[in-house]
Amino acid sequence: MTSSSAPANTHPYESLTPDVVLDALATLDLHGDGRLTALNSYENRVYQVFLDQPAAHASVVVKFYRPERWTTAEILEEHAFALELAAADVPAVPPIEVHGRTLHHHDGFAFSVSPYRGGRSPELDDFEVLEWVGRFLARIHTIGAARPFVARPALDLQSFGIASRDWLLGHDKVPLDVQRAWETACNAALDRIAATALSPTATDTQLRKLRLHGDVHPGNILWTPTDRPHGGPHFVDLDDARSGFAVQDLWMLLSGDRAQRTGQLSGLLDGYEQFRSFDRRELALIEPLRTLRLIHYSAWLARRWEDPIFPINFPWFGTSDYWKGQIQMLEDQCESMDEEPLYA
């Protein structure tokens, strides 16, 4: 999907000017007052737009999906999941239905509109906050377990690990002076992951996959003071929603040394298990999932390099020093995967 007004030799997003953003909203009878702020997003283009007419929302968030990343069916499945969560009073932020639709098109772009929600990152060193977040994650997973995704893919060894490695090597993205060392370290890590439930060929596990948020890091949780209406956490950005194991939505909230991560995990699970049981066998997947994300992240950066925003914001990517750092991290991850998993 390419913007009709973009020259053939430019990236589609280069044609996404403020006028195009406002014109897209106007097709839905939502008219901006001229104030438009780009929000932090590299994968898509996301803007807060203030409206000039009395409406239910003083401002909205408009997300322009990266062309050719998701199919229409995959985007609509994300929207349906967000609407399911909102209908169950889970504080996710769903798209607004306008003219009977949640997905719209303008000038070659697919876009959606959501209500604006303010907030800050949660204080994840606060046990009460962790418990609160855990309760809502359990509620997300209860809805997620009710039915499977049909169109959206799974988070597994093949899609995040093997496909990423093969693309990087097949497109000569790893410099020759470090390519063999990186490939060796990557293969050693992937071999360890292949022995877990993340392997598509795993047959000896009873762990259950479900629909996930998929990208629960502190930046995707907006915390508002608890003395305000609807205070507490709001989950945003289901753009990476996939099928997978419940622990995927927990492990990115853990940081620090082993003792700190164990304490944070205990807080999350104390809240989680007030609403839903958690299979402790999934804790063995934390380091394999972290490793898959590491490999996938390098491929994500390389695949997006033609987007002008990436060289500007990630100038260190692609150098031999970058890949040497990746080699060290993969070797460290192999050691971490050989250790006993966290337990709480």
Q: What is the rounded distance in angstroms from the CA atom of residue 89 to the CA atom of residue 111? A: 25
How many CA atoms does the CB half-sphere of 231 hold within 13 Å? 7
**List of residues 6+ apart from 93 with CB closer than 8 A:** 61, 82, 86, 114, 115, 117, 234, 235, 236
User: Annotated catalytic residue: which of 52, 107, 204, 215?
Assistant: 215
Cα–chain center distance at 122 = 17
Buried-exposed string 270-306: b where 16+ CB fall within 10 A, e elsewhere: ebbeeebebeeebbbbbbbbbbbbbbbebbebbbbee
Catalytic residue among 52, 89, 166, 237: 237
Q: What is the largest CA-CA distance in the chain?
A: 61
Rounded Cα gap, residues 142 and 3, in angstroms: 39
Active site annotation includes 33:
no
Short-list 329, 303, 330, CA closest to 314: 303
CA 61, CA 145: separation in Å to the nearest integer?
28
**Residues with Cβ within 8 Å of residue 313, at least 6 apart in sequence:** 42
Identify whether the C-beta of residue 186 lies closer than 8 Å to the C-beta of residue 179: no
Catalytic site includes residue 52: no
What residues are labeled active site?
A: 215, 237
